[in-house]
């Protein structure tokens, strides 16, 4: 349903003839300029109104997206899987670190026991 009236060529000619008769040829250019300014002002206001509604729609969409992102952060299956994997591998990693410390200590102890002027066991074997 279209609420705006439909003007054809003949309707526009009829309005122009009536305006010419009522206003007169002398004041018709002033009337047309005023009408043009009025139409320009109405278009400007309509544009501002549309821009304001678009801005509100964008803000509403952004708020919805923020809520959706927060929901995804809370219910993130990848983070849950990573957390479960970290919990499962934590004891293994701890044992590996302890074993590495033991190996480092053994190497340090072995290098302290070998005097610097005597060849090490490996050098003596060759």
Q: What is the pLDDT of residue 8?
A: 84
First to last CA, the chain: 101
**Phi, psi for residue 57 in degrees, rounded to 5:** -65, -40
Contact 28, 20 (CB under 8 A): yes
Q: In this predicted structure, what is the pLDDT of residue 114?
A: 62
Please tell me the distance from the alpha carbon of residue 109 to that of residue 105, in angstroms, as a whole number: 6
Q: Which residue has the tokens 């609420």?
A: 3
Stretches where the chain sits below pLDDT 70 are: 1-5, 114-126
Write down the pTM of the prediction: 0.41
Tell me, what's the pLDDT at 11? 87
């Amino acid at each position: 349903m279209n609420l705006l009236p439909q003007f054809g060529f003949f309707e526009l000619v009829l309005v122009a003839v009536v305006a010419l008769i009522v206003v007169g040829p002398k004041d018709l250019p002033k009337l047309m300029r005023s009408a043009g300014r009025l139409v320009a002002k109405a278009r400007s206001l309509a544009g501002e109104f549309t821009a304001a509604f678009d801005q509100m729609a964008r803000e509403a969409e952004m708020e919805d997206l923020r809520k959706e992102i927060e929901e995804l952060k809370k219910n993130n299956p990848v983070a849950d899987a990573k957390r479960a994997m970290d919990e499962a591998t934590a004891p293994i990693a701890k044992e590996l670190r302890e074993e590495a410390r033991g190996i480092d200590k053994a190497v340090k102890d072995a290098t302290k026991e070998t005097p610097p002027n005597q060849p090490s066991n490996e050098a003596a074997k060759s």
